[in-house]
Amino acid sequence: MKKVLLVVLIFFTFLVPSAFAAQDKALEALETLRHGFAGTADFTAEIVQEKQLALMKRKMVSKGVVRFKKPGVFFMELFSPYASRLLLRDNVLTIRLSEQGVTDRIVLPPEESLEKWFSYLAKPLTALPEGAEVRAERQGGNWTMQVFPKSKGGIKELQISFDGEGKIKRLVIEERNRDRTVIRFANMRRNAGLKDKDFLLE
């Protein structure tokens, strides 16, 4: 789950624009996604996560939920058999493994806080990001965008599928160690009026 959160933070980092990048379909896709987040105070969605480890033939499949609330609260829960809960409040990350009775707490650097990255989403994008190669294609009202980080970190490729309103439908994470994670989103509700009780770890 920490890797999923890292991907979220990396993706927001890519939204910092470069004044020298060309305007093209990829920029249109990024702006579509950004515009959807900009008009969202909170959201909740059901997810199905498929994790394929390079050293295993069997996929680990989990159902769960994700929730987000501005300015910087993110929650993800996976149900049994791989039950876990993750909560990020600004730059404090807490992971709860209920079945093992384990709780892990990590304080991220201030520059990696959700509030910081979402502040970038408040302004229209006029250039492509410096930190990655971005490709995008549109079929009807749906977008598929590929992000290839230029750094030599653990993420090789991100693939994000979303509609014309910026609602994410599918996220694929390809890692350099050949692990692969696919997260499918369903029943996403924006501006649902989420409360503090919707972000409890216990």
Could you tell me what percent of the chain has a pLDDT over 70? 83
Q: Give pLDDT, residue 113.
A: 67
61: phi then psi, degrees, rounded to nearest 5:
-110, 130
- Per-residue pLDDT tens for 124-170? 877 777 777 888 999 999 999 998 888 777 888 989 999 999 899 99
Structure tokens at 141: 């009202």
- What's the distance, CA 39 to chain centroid? 17
Are 175 and 51 contacting, i.e. CB atoms less than 8 angstroms apart? Answer: no
Question: Does the domain formed by 2-188 have CATH 2.60.40.10?
Answer: no
DSSP H or E run through 27: helix 25-38
Q: Taking CA 93 as the corner, what is the angle to CA 54 and CA 108, rounded to the nearest 5 degrees? A: 95
Among residues 77, 44, 36, 46, the alpha carbon closest in space to that of 186 is found at: 46
Contacts of 66 (CB under 8 A, 6+ apart): 44, 45, 47, 74, 75, 76, 77, 185
Whole-number pLDDT of residue 102: 86
**In the chain, where are the structural domains located?**
2-188
Q: Say which DSSP state 111 is in.
A: G
- The Cα 121–Cα 109 span in angstroms is 20
Q: Over the stretch 8-18, which tens digit does the pLDDT of each residue have?
A: 544 444 444 44
Neighbours of 60 (CB within 10 A): 14
pTM of the model: 0.80
Q: How far apart are CA 15 and CA 114, in angstroms?
A: 13
User: pLDDT (tens digit, 9 = 90+) per residue, 59-86?
Assistant: 889 999 999 998 889 999 999 888 899 9
- Cα distance between the two ends of the chain: 17
